[in-house]
Amino acid sequence: MTVLVLAGTIGAGKSSLTEMLAEELNTQAFYESVDDNKVLPLFYENPQKYAFLLQIYFLNKRFDSIKKALSHNNNVLDRSIYEDSLLFHLNADLGRADETEVEVYDDLLQNMLEEIDSLSFKKRPDLLIHVKVSFDKMLERIQKRGRVYEQLDYDPSLYDYYKELNNRYDKWFETFNICPKIQIDGDRYDFVEDPTARTEVLRQIKEKLKEIEGERA
């Protein structure tokens, strides 16, 4: 059983790489709930009111995906549960959740992580793949994808939110130590449009997987 999880800021390319990996490795892909997510547009309209609800929504969906993923042999998830806390705490630091909400959330997340550990012999992913992009590239990709509520002309204050989120991701990845990890340079490799870049990115990931297997043997 091989479990891969993608990580990275908004618009980094997680879903795109998830699709490519699932095809290349012949595994099942699990995507974050976005188009069918009733809370996400409400959050962007009024983050103060909906930050906590959105976080609970995502956590619940994430838990669901992980349970489903664990019933398949090989799978790839387009965002890790380990990033949820980063996103929530950024919102809490911006005053969008109060102390009690932070406490309830942290407890619930801890509880769920323990539950996941008890669900399967596979306690941790085999590899976390962080797609790192610069702030400028992040804005470019968000614009390219074009979800209305994520655009800066919908809410100019998103500029600061995105900038801080991107900064926090870099620190988060440096200290992440739950499972083996690899960083993919999403600025350098246009793996969506350029087949050579795609091949190179897949090569880097497969090489890392081999290295991990070798260490285990």
Ligand X SMILES: Nc1ncnc2c1ncn2[C@@H]1O[C@H](COP(=O)(O)OP(=O)(O)OP(=O)(O)O)[C@@H](O)[C@H]1O
Residue 32 vs 185, nearer CB to ligand GNG: 32
Nearest-5° Cα angle at 206, 212 to 167: 85
Burial 102-138 (b: 16+ CB within 10 A, else e): beebeeebeebbeebeeeeeeeebbbbbbbbbeeebb
Our answer to whether residue 78 is catalytic in this structure is: yes
Indicate which of ligand X, ligand GNG, none lies near residue 58 (CB less than 5 to 8 Å, by partner kind): ligand GNG
Does 126 sit near ligand GNG (CB under 6 A)?
A: no
Catalytic residue among 78, 98, 190, 194: 78
Measured CA distances, 203 to 18, 172, 209 (Å): 15, 25, 10
Indicate which of ligand GNG, ligand X, none lies near residue 36 (CB less than 5 to 8 Å, by partner kind): none
Indicate which of ligand X, ligand GNG, none lies near residue 126 (CB less than 5 to 8 Å, by partner kind): none
Does 32 sit near ligand GNG (CB under 6 A)?
A: yes
Q: Which of 18, 55, 75, 166 binds ligand GNG (CB under 6 A)?
A: 55
Instruction: Kindly give, in sequence order, each residue whose CB lies less than 8 Å from that of residue 215, ignoring residues fewer than 6 positions away.
Output: none
Q: Which of 190, 200, 208, 212 binds ligand X (CB under 6 A)?
A: 190
Give one DSSP letter per residue of 33-65, joined into a string.
Answer: --TT-SHHHHHHH-HHHHHHHHHHHHHHHHHHH
Token pair recorded at residue 13: 């390319």
CA–CA gap between residue 183 and residue 17 (Å, rounded): 13
Does 145 sit near ligand X (CB under 6 A)?
A: yes
According to DSSP, the β-strands at 2-7 and 127-132 are parallel
Indicate which of ligand X, ligand GNG, none lies near residue 141 (CB less than 5 to 8 Å, by partner kind): ligand X
Residues that bind ligand GNG (CB under 6 A): 10, 32, 34, 40, 54-55, 58, 84, 87-88, 91, 150
The contact set with ligand X (CB under 6 A) reads: 8, 10-16, 32, 34, 78, 141, 144-145, 186, 189-193
> Which residues make up each annotated binding site for substrate?
32, 44, 55, 79, 84, 150
